[in-house]
Copies of this chain bind each other. A is one copy, B any other.
Amino acid sequence: MKKDTAILMIHCPDQKGIVSTVTDFLLTNDGNIIDLDQHVDHSEQYFYMRVEWELDGFGIPQDKIAEFFETLIAKKYNMQWSIEFCHCVPRVAIFVSKYGHCLYDILARWESKEWDVEIPFIISNHDKFRKVAERHGIPFYHIPIIKDNKQEQEAKEIALLQEHNIDLILLARYMQIISENMVSKYKNKIINIHHSSLPAFAGADPYGNAFKRGVKFMGATAHYVTSDLDEGPIICQDVVPISHRDSIKDLKRKGKDIEKIVFAQAIWSHINHNVMTYNNKTVVFE
């Protein structure tokens, strides 16, 4: 049985005594730590910490932890922090266009309970995957986007996201640029999979450009979406060797495989509250 736990994620300028203070706070209140990871970026003198402890027996009621932590500790150290509870099931919206490999992979992980998430709906600018969604009992919204209707269509999307209390948006090869409006509403809550090893081959047609340049490795990158296209904090990357024998078709086939795996790894890290961002980079605890 998975135990009920709380996860505290903290970052702040590095100072003496943070680990000691936080662990003391938990110990004093009978919190049994089951995982602790910390990291200091010495080039920035910046401190990151993730600590997970059992709620069972913890002296502070769950709905009061945030208040107590802020008052007793966070303020003093000028911390940016968040708290998560492992029994809260994230609500995930999937955006997809015409390539289904990431969508299929996500649905398989969801259906087989590899991931403990809810998927309230799927949005697409094409109608192609309606049947795939429907046979899983997931509502499918076909929201086509052209130059002239982008703003109003995105408004519909945002309405859906808000109505369904979406925690995480997955751009599963969604071939539309997300507007700054939506990005700002879901900071560090939109994960995109890009089909290259960023910063190489950002933008359109990474396969074609990789083929043309004659690289010997191609990659995939999962990152949080920011208002700068393909420039957000990188969560996960991987590469696969290629050779002169590989045609663009081969690159696409091989690319799809790493894309879905890299995307899944990033999503796993996110939904397990292992990712912190700072300075447009990520700290990904394991």
**Which residues of A approach B to under 8 Å, CB–CB?**
16-17, 19-20, 23-24, 26-27, 32-43, 48, 100-101, 104-105, 108, 111-112, 114, 135, 197-201, 211, 213-217, 219, 233-239, 241, 243-245, 247-248, 253, 256-257, 261, 264-265, 268, 279-284, 286
- Least Cβ distance of A7 to chain B in Å? 15
The answer to whether residues A217 and B197 also contact, given A20-B20, A104-B104, A112-B100 and a CB cut-off of 8 A, is: yes
- What residues of chain B lie closer than 8 Å to A283, measured between beta carbons? 244
Chain A interface, DSSP helix/strand/loop, else mixed:
mixed
- What residues of chain B lie closer than 8 Å to A105, measured between beta carbons? 105, 108
Instruction: State the oligomeric state as a number of copies.
Output: 4
The answer on a CB contact under 8 Å between A42 and B36 is: no
- What residues of chain B lie closer than 8 Å to A280, measured between beta carbons? 214
- What residues of chain B lie closer than 8 Å to A33, measured between beta carbons? 16, 19
- What residues of chain B lie closer than 8 Å to A19, measured between beta carbons? 19, 23, 33, 36
The answer to whether residues A34 and B42 also contact, given A101-B108, A199-B200 and a CB cut-off of 8 A, is: yes
